[in-house]
Structure 1
Amino acid sequence: MPTASPPQRALPRTILLATDLSSRCDRAQDRAILLAKGWAARLCILHVMPVEEPADLPSWRRDRSGAAARAEQQIRADLEGCGTECDVMLARGEAAETILAQAEAMDAGLLVTGVARDDMLGRATLGAIVDRLVSHAPMPVLVVKGRPRGAYGEILVATDFSESSRQALQAALHLFPAARITLFHAFQVPFEGFISRDANMQEMRDQAAAELDDFLRHVQGPADWRDRVTPLLEYGQAGALICDYVQARGIPLVVIGTQGRSGLASFLVGSTAKRLLAALPCDTMTLRQHG
């Protein structure tokens, strides 16, 4: 019998945006502001500075209080005209641990951040800090890559029919009540190098369809949730298919649980998860399973 899903919580009352003040975090800030307005939530912006500055800094960079003042000034300048009240917080410490501690202390319902940039290759990467946030935050983590152009109208939720992916679907239904959702499952024929793929394809599709029906029976959502969810069963490798579907359809957000049962489990945990989250061109929201 499946584990009982937790009851739906109210919309987040507090959103924490973690920023390194780089241009990549501007998009995360714009998205966090949109969400805060839509949910009537408090928005807190946190910038973590290193405990110790490098010893070889020029003289004008050695004033710690001055560095903090400049950081706050930049954040407030970026917020000018945003139309919502924001709390600005500065801290010193190890970035990921400080962000996680602050998010839990304020009972944040959502943690928002941008992606790092590989200065040598000139491309966006997840980075060690974002990877740790995704792996350890008890609340949903939204990693923003795209330029916000309004509310999320279409969302892809990846499922392996596990309880974790069920909670991911329920969260998407709850947090984004106007969005259309594609529930995506990829299946493969086991040992297809040794048995006929074509001969077993329909059997595996039928099995996936039966599992899908059972999965949907245990979803807890608003009264109209079935009208908003379109299941999609597809043969192939899940990570590659999801990336291709997102690019082909222009999906702005993918929601995934970070604990899988099978199939998706191989890339929702460990190094393959990092590759998927880095490869997706859109925003991603990850959720750790509760209960």
Structure 2
Amino acid sequence: MTASFSLLAATDFSAPARHALERAAQLAAAHPGTQLTLTHIVSASMLARLRGLMRDEAPAMEARAADETQQALTELATRLSTQYACPIDTRLSLGSALDAITDLADELPADLLVMGARGANFVREFLLGSTTERVLSRTRRPVLAVKHRPQGAYRRVLVPVDFSVHAVAAAQTAHRWLPDAEIILLHAYEVDIESTLRFAGISDEQVHQYRARAREDALYSMAQFVARLSIPAGQLTRHVVHGAPTLRILEHEQSLDVDLIAMGKHGQSTLEELLLGSVTKHVLAYCSSDVLVAGHPV
């Protein structure tokens, strides 16, 4: 594939962030001509606390901290550029991580934002939500949340499908970045009123009939969904299963041995387009694989 892209990878110099940088460099190397930018955000609130504590010495300490951080960022870029044979820029910014990362992604503009799923302050993030989650809620751009050090190119990608434009965007984005990977489409269907039917005394046989009808509808919708994709049929596998989406996604992640899950930011029921949907949020939190969250559909 010869198309060139712009990649932005954010780091706080933690181990999860280093894994994200390696994955970003690997993706850049797989797409010749891609420009990868590494960024680190110096916290404005941290500098404000430093000024309050150090007073007259603060300017000199700020300058030294900026120099040392830029040096560390440059060394990272040099090592990755040599290892993966791809051009890498660096950008050091001041402000809040959320604002600075999303603003820089728009400025470049980045075709993909790569971040560690968790950062250095794991306990705080567990309570308040990770920077990656908050960036996902803010940006319209695709975000790759990396959980593990890359062992090789992504081979099998699980794409949960609810037949929305967001699911189309997820499948297309995954194929755009990983043109040789197998794309596994998974739809989990439920009979909305199944529990009500049982309480109403409807027989098991009738409930199964409703479920069979729901499966037929889902298979038909899956065929229509596939027709909307520009992915070779030989790279697509379809699974239609009964059950709660989050549970079935996590089960199939393990049973199908996938190494990436690609999802829309939310599904058909979300009213606010920039909110992170509950299924996506739960999968991001509990899955073992890296997660690609597609940007806003165009």
TM-score of the two chains, using structure 1 as the length reference: 0.85
Return the alpha-carbon distance in structure 1 between the equivalents of residues 97 and 154 of structure 2.
29
1:70 corresponds in structure 2 to 68
| Aligned CA distance change for structure 1 residues 271 and 230 (closer, same or farther; 3 Å) | closer
| Alignment counterpart, residue 229 of structure 1, candidates 216, 219, 236 | 236
Verify: 1:216 aligned to 2:226, yes or no: yes
| Aligned CA distance change for structure 1 residues 134 and 262 (closer, same or farther; 3 Å) | same
Return the alpha-carbon distance in structure 1 between the equivalents of residues 258 and 276 of structure 2.
23
Letter of the structure 1 residue corresponding to residue 137 of structure 2: S
Return the alpha-carbon distance in structure 2 between the equivalents of residues 60 and 171 of structure 1.
45
Verify: 1:290 aligned to 2:297, yes or no: yes
1:122, CA displacement in angstroms? 9.9
Return the alpha-carbon distance in structure 2 between the equivalents of residues 35 and 113 of structure 1.
13
Most deviating of 212-221 and 226-235:
212-221
Is the contact made by 2:117 and 2:130 (CA closer than 8 Å) also made in structure 1?
Answer: no
Return the alpha-carbon distance in structure 1 between the equivalents of residues 59 and 118 of structure 2.
23
CA offset digits 1:69-97 (Å, max 9, x no partner): 22222223334242333111101011111
Identity of matched residues, %:
27
Verify: 1:46 aligned to 2:53, yes or no: no
Specify every segment of 5 or more residues in structure 2 that has no aligned partner in the other structure, as ranges: 198-203
Question: 1:138-287 to 2 correspondence within 5 Å?
Answer: 138-195=140-197, 196=204, 197-221=207-231, 225-261=232-268, 269-287=276-294
Letter of the structure 1 residue corresponding to residue 248 of structure 2: L
1:254, CA displacement in angstroms? 0.7
CA offset digits 1:25-58 (Å, max 9, x no partner): 0110100010111112111001001114224767
Return the alpha-carbon distance in structure 1 between the equivalents of residues 241 and 223 of structure 2.
15
Between structure 1 and structure 2, the one with the greater Rg is 2
Higher fraction of helix: 2
1:35 corresponds in structure 2 to 27
Instruction: Give the number of equivalent residue pairs.
Output: 277
CA offset digits 1:131-177 (Å, max 9, x no partner): 22212322211111122111111101111011221122122222211
Is the contact made by 1:118 and 1:124 (CA closer than 8 Å) also made in structure 2?
Answer: no
| Aligned CA distance change for structure 1 residues 133 and 159 (closer, same or farther; 3 Å) | same
Return the alpha-carbon distance in structure 2 between the equivalents of residues 272 and 172 of structure 1.
18
Return the alpha-carbon distance in structure 2 between the equivalents of residues 112 and 120 of structure 1.
18
Return the alpha-carbon distance in structure 2 between the equivalents of residues 101 and 131 of structure 1.
16
Most deviating of 70-79 and 49-58:
49-58
Q: Give the alignment's Cα RMSD to 1 decimal.
A: 2.8
| Alignment counterpart, residue 112 of structure 2, candidates 89, 110, 113 | 110
Return the alpha-carbon distance in structure 1 between the equivalents of residues 279 and 99 of structure 2.
23
Specify every segment of 5 or more residues in structure 1 that has no aligned partner in the other structure, as ranges: 1-9
CA offset digits 1:242-279 (Å, max 9, x no partner): 1121123331111111131259x9xx844453222111
| Aligned CA distance change for structure 1 residues 243 and 57 (closer, same or farther; 3 Å) | farther
Return the alpha-carbon distance in structure 1 between the equivalents of residues 127 and 152 of structure 2.
24
Return the alpha-carbon distance in structure 1 between the equivalents of residues 116 and 257 of structure 2.
19
* SS of match in other structure, 2:254: helix
| Alignment counterpart, residue 17 of structure 2, candidates 22, 25, 36 | 25
